[in-house]
């Protein structure tokens, strides 16, 4: 069993309210909100006004994934725009400890994300301070990419750290998640599955969310 965070990046942006309401009425645990700046990643998604608009209709917590450079500049603004959780990239934060403390001061759940090439060991000194570790299973920037297989090993390593030291962070995986890889991801220790195109391109998205959750 896993919690599901449907990624709004794959929604129909001309029908955002409808798609947010679909998520509200589903068994999803969160709404995953991807913020891309065209600098940290080679794509631009959307920014604060759209996040606010999603929040206005959302009945699930907003899990905001900041794929942006210098995220410290925008933490407060995204918190005000409705973020419950704020996840920054390890690769974008030279002073990650300070950034995590800042997120806590804002009253949000602090998360840290790792690109596919970054080993989980780099987080050993911050694991006790975060609520969430997000493992990217594709290179960030686009929905609909193919799942990278070495993600399983990273999840297992992270789960072993968690058990060994008694940490409480949740493990989230993001990119290329579907019903083929979800069961093994859960088996290796994933708590939250992000799924974008697999949910929104399915004939019955709410049912797909339920099926993923039973993985
Ligand atoms: C990718 C984003 C993901 C994306 C997932 O950079 O962080 O959250 O929306 O989309 P799928 O599930 O289509 O790979
Ligand atoms: Zn994401």
* Cα–ligand 2 centroid distance for 166 (angstroms): 26
Calculate mean pLDDT across residues 73-81.
98
pLDDT of residue 50: 98
pLDDT of residue 58: 98
Judge residue 9's burial from the number of C-beta atoms within 10 Å of its C-beta, 0-12 exposed, 13-18 middle, 19 or more buried: buried
Residue range 109-145, pLDDT digits in tens:
999 999 999 999 999 999 999 999 999 999 999 999 9
pLDDT of residue 27: 98
pLDDT of residue 178: 98
What is the 3-state secondary structure of 24-76? HCCCCCCEEEEEEECCCCCCECCCHHHHHHHHHHCCCCEEEEEECCCHHHHHH
CA 7/CA 192 separation, integer angstroms: 12
**Contact of 14 with 176, CB cutoff 8 Å:** no
pLDDT of residue 106: 98
CA 36/CA 34 separation, integer angstroms: 6
Q: Give Cα separations from 125 to 121, 130, 142, 215 (angstroms).
A: 9, 10, 30, 31
Identify the band that residue 83 occupies on the pLDDT scale cut at 50, 70 and 90: very high
pLDDT of residue 170: 98
Residue range 169-210, pLDDT digits in tens:
999 999 999 999 999 999 999 999 999 999 999 999 999 999
Atom of ligand 1 nearest to the CA of 140: 6
- Architecture per CATH, domain 3-213, reads as Alpha-Beta Barrel (3.20)
Angle at 108 (CA atoms; ends 196, 171), nearest 5 degrees? 50
Structure letter (DSSP) for residue 108: S
Domain boundaries, the chain: 3-213
Identify the band that residue 108 occupies on the pLDDT scale cut at 50, 70 and 90: very high
pLDDT of residue 119: 98
Atom of ligand 1 nearest to the CA of 65: 7
Identify the band that residue 36 occupies on the pLDDT scale cut at 50, 70 and 90: very high
Identify the band that residue 96 occupies on the pLDDT scale cut at 50, 70 and 90: very high
Burial call 161-194: b when 16+ CB within 10 Å, e when fewer = bbeeeeeebbbbbbbbbbeebbeebbebbbbbbb
Q: Which residues line ligand 1 (CB under 6 A)?
A: 7, 9-10, 32, 34, 65, 138, 140-145, 174-177, 194-198
* pTM (two decimals): 0.98
């Amino acid at each position: 069993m896993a919690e599901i965070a449907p990624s709004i990046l794959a929604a129909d942006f001309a029908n955002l309210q409808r798609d947010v309401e679909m998520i509200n009425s589903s068994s999803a645990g969160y709404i995953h909100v991807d913020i891309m700046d065209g600098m940290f990643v080679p794509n631009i998604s959307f920014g604060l006004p759209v996040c606010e608009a999603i929040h206005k209709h959302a009945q699930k917590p907003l899990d905001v994934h900041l794929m942006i450079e210098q995220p410290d500049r925008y933490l407060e603004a995204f918190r005000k725009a409705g973020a419950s959780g704020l996840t920054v990239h390890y690769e974008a934060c030279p002073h990650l400890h300070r950034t995590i403390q800042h997120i806590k001061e804002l009253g949000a759940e602090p998360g840290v994300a790792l690109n596919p090439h970054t080993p989980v060991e780099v987080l050993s000194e911050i694991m006790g301070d975060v609520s969430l570790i997000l493992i990217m299973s594709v290179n960030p920037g686009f929905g609909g990419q193919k799942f990278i297989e070495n993600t399983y090993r990273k999840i297992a390593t992270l789960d072993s750290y968690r058990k060994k030291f008694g940490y409480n962070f949740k493990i989230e995986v993001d990119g290329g998640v579907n019903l083929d890889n979800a069961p093994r991801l859960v088996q290796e220790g994933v708590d939250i599955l992000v799924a974008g195109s697999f949910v929104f391109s399915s004939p019955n998205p709410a049912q797909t969310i339920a099926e993923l959750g039973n993985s």
